[in-house]
């Protein structure tokens, strides 16, 4: 299946603490019509190192977006903090930690976030699924002030210049 504006391609990655949630989301989102790409891990390892999984998912989101493919990402962990940090190291990624409905929707509406981080140990599977769905379905507002602010972040990321 290819992505469409209604159903973006979704790149997902986790650590050991988010594996149950990740498996649920892959199944749930695929059934809803999303093209889901699982960046791992493939098996449980309590000592796994999540950065590679999350960075690979983030790289795939950026590559798809640069190719004109509507794509978003999901990174999961116990808290979601480390996974968000790892994803945000990828140039072009704006990863946001969502912990309630408002933070999930505002990440897209105001920040045009392209990756969402959720803590698998912080929510029930049902709560986390609702956060993910809110993120995936919320459009960016394209409001001038938000476009301007995102542009300043991108300029710093590219040039190192802080624009007032």
Catalytic residues: 83, 110
Strand order in the sheet with 9-13: 35-38, 9-13, 71-77, 115-119, 95-97
The DSSP annotation for the chain comes to ----SSS-EEEEE--GGGHHHHHHHHHHHHHHT-EEEE---SS--TT--HHHHHHHHHHHHHHHHHTT--EEEEEEESSSHHHHHHHHTSTT--EEE--SHHHHHHHHHTT--SEEEEETTTS-HHHHHHHHHHHHHPPP---HHHHHHHHHHHHHHHH-PPP-
């Amino acid at each position: 299946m290819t992505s469409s504006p209604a159903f973006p391609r979704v790149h997902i990655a986790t650590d050991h603490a988010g594996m149950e949630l990740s498996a649920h989301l892959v199944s749930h989102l695929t059934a809803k019509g999303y093209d889901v790409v699982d960046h791992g891990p493939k098996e449980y390892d309590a000592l796994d190192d999540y950065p590679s999984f999350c960075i690979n998912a983030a790289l795939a989101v950026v590559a798809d977006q640069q190719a004109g493919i509507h794509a978003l990402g999901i990174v999961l962990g116990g808290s979601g903090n480390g996974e968000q940090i790892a994803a945000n190291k990828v140039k072009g990624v704006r990863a946001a930690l969502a912990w309630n409905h408002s933070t999930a929707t505002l990440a897209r509406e105001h920040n045009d976030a392209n990756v969402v981080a959720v803590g698998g140990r912080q929510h029930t599977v049902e709560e986390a699924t609702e956060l993910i769905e809110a993120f995936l379905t919320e459009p960016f507002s394209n409001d001038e002030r938000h476009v301007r602010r995102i542009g300043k972040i991108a300029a710093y990321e590219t040039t190192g210049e802080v624009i007032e």
